[in-house]
Amino acid sequence: IDELLSEGVAGKRVFVRADLNVPLDGTTITDDGRIRAVVPTVKALADGGARVIVASHLGRPKGAPDPVFSLAPAAARLGELLGADVAFAEDTVGTAAEAAVNGLADGRVAVIENLRFNPGETSKDDTERAAFADKLAGLADVYVGDGFGAVHRKHASVFDLPKRLPHYAGYLIATEVGVLKKLTDDVERPYVVALGGAKVSDKLAVIDQLLGKADRLLIGGGMAYTFLKAQGHEVGISLLQEDQVPVVKEYMERAEKSGVELVLPVDVLVATEFPDLKTKAPANPATVAADAIPADQEGLDIGPETRKLYASKLADAATVFWNGPMGVFEHPDYAEGTKAVAQALVDAPGFTVVGGGDSAAAVRTLGFDENAFGHISTGGGASLEYLEGKTLPGLAALED
């Protein structure tokens, strides 16, 4: 983007593909991290006199307008953060978007409505995506990719549009890629990775890669129960992906052979019911050993011994990557595991990276200071796929 700015952007229509996919409670944004992250790029362009068109997806609407997934709240928040009026177009490539773009003065910003309200955005059919990308290209002179959270999607605005316009990477994408490179090339050791979250199937590919990279792998969250089962323990009614048990067993054997320390919970918090996340009524969990989960109980967080154990395994880390909460952190009775891991990252002497999605939201909603971490990624799936060594369509299109 510095190259683009030095060439001069005054009067140019610049399309910024951001990731404003923020969590909402109705129309209230509960975590604006992704919006704040794109401000430097938008501000630099606006300050340079560009006519800035910001576009993004939000949620997973079904290819048609749906007010639940409107970007209007995100547009309003972007305006607040920029301290400037931001126009909002109620469609994406229709008359409202054209009018908003045509009405932009130099240095002003417009947000267009959710890209996924158009089926061409996410279509698997190249021709359908191309047709939508052509329409988007008609709105702008230049493309800036800065939606790091979506670079792993082969979508029209991420993959096809940059091929149609002079294209540049924004500040956020440059920062994110710089950080993730540190974790893949010449990582400083000990390199400790903490993985949590509900489904082990989402993390298999990254575990596969990390078994050849990391020194220690700490496992928590719902996915830990598939590991405990693979170790031969019963897990009661905890989340379990029975079909993944053989794969996980194989990974555990590989870890042993390659000298990677794979660390599993030694105790867990259990209850007979999933907690009520709306009322947050007390759940009164019990603590049990990880190899003694009663048949009618569900594991919902790592226990106090595991918290200490994981903190000790992070204490000397030169590099840490953490993705996925350790328990149901949205309920106060099950937040301690996630808090303990976040605190251990804060205390770790080395460079710490929080991989986006739920863990980034957890860090902020649990009250941690963002600046206490080396980097909080805006990309959940995107950062995992980067670490898996995959080619990310949105980055490939920018490099092209």
Q: Which residues are annotated as a binding site?
A: 19-21, 34, 57-60, 116, 153, 203, 299, 330, 356-359
Which position among 16, 150, 173, 230 is part of the footprint of ligand 3PG (CB under 6 A)?
150
Does residue 32 interact with ligand 3PG by CB under 6 A?
A: no
Among residues 120, 265, 275, 380, which is the contact residue for ligand 3PG, using CB under 6 A?
380
φ, ψ for residue 141 (rounded to 5)? -105, -30
199 is catalytic: yes
Least separation in angstroms between CB 24 and ligand 3PG? 12
In this complex, which beta carbon is closest to ligand 3PG, that of residue 59 or of residue 332? 59
Which residue, among 42, 51, 143, has the nearest Cα to 103 in the 3D structure? 51
Name the residue nearer to ligand 3PG (CB basis): 51 or 57. 57
Residue 62 as a binder of ligand 3PG (CB under 6 A): the answer is: no
- What are residue 309's phi and psi, to 5 degrees? -60, -45
Q: Which is nearer to ligand 3PG, 114 or 319 (CB)?
A: 114
Residue of 199, 308, 364, 390 marked active site: 199
**Shortest Cβ distance from residue 60 to ligand 3PG (Å)?**
5
Q: Virtual CA dihedral for 220, 221, 222, 224, nearest 10 degrees?
A: 0
Number of residues counted as binding ligand 3PG (CB under 6 A)? 9
Out of 12, 13, 17, 34, the active site residue is 34
Site string for ligand 3PG, 340-369 (x = CB under 6 A): -----------------x------------
- What is the number of the residue whose Cβ is closest to ligand 3PG? 21
Is residue 325 a contact residue for ligand 3PG (CB under 6 A)? Answer: no
Question: Is residue 21 within the footprint of ligand 3PG (CB under 6 A)?
Answer: yes
Check: CB of residue 11 under 8 Å from CB of residue 49: yes
Considering the rule CB under 6 A, would residue 19 count as an interface residue with ligand 3PG? yes
Task: List the structure tokens of 281.
Answer: 């009524």
Nearest distance, CB of residue 199 and ligand 3PG, angstroms: 14
The residue behind tokens 């996630």 is: 338
Report the alpha-carbon distance of residue 62 to residue 43 in Å, rounded. 32
Which pair of tokens denotes residue 186?
A: 């010449």
Q: Is 394 in the site for ligand 3PG (CB under 6 A)?
A: no
Q: How far is the CB of 113 from ligand 3PG (least distance, A)?
A: 16
**CA atoms of 120 and 68, how far apart (whole Å):** 20
Stretch that binds ligand 3PG, among 98-106, 145-153, 178-186, 387-395 (CB under 6 A): 145-153
Do 138 and 14 contact (CB within 8 A), yes or no?
no
Closer Cβ to ligand 3PG, 265 or 379, answer by number: 379
Neighbours of 329 (CB within 10 A): 25
The residue (of 92 and 297) whose beta carbon lies closer to ligand 3PG is 92
- 69 vs 373 by CB, closer to ligand 3PG: 69
Does the protein bind ligand 3PG through residue 73 (CB under 6 A)?
no
Q: How many CB atoms lie within 10 A of CB 6?
A: 9
Contact 136, 157 (CB under 8 A): yes
Q: For this structure, is 182 an active site residue?
A: no
C-alpha 396/C-alpha 385 separation (Å) is 13
How far apart, in whole angstroms, are the C-alpha atoms of residue 268 and residue 103?
58
DSSP per residue over 157-226, as a string? IIIIGGGGS-EEE-HHHHHHHHHHHHHHSS--SSEEEEE-SS-GGGTHHHHHHHTTT-SEEEE-STTHHH
- Phi, psi (deg, nearest 5) at residue 269: -95, 130
Q: Would you name the residues annotated as active-site residues? A: 34, 199, 357, 381
Footprint of ligand 3PG (CB under 6 A)? 19, 21, 60, 149-150, 153, 357, 380-381
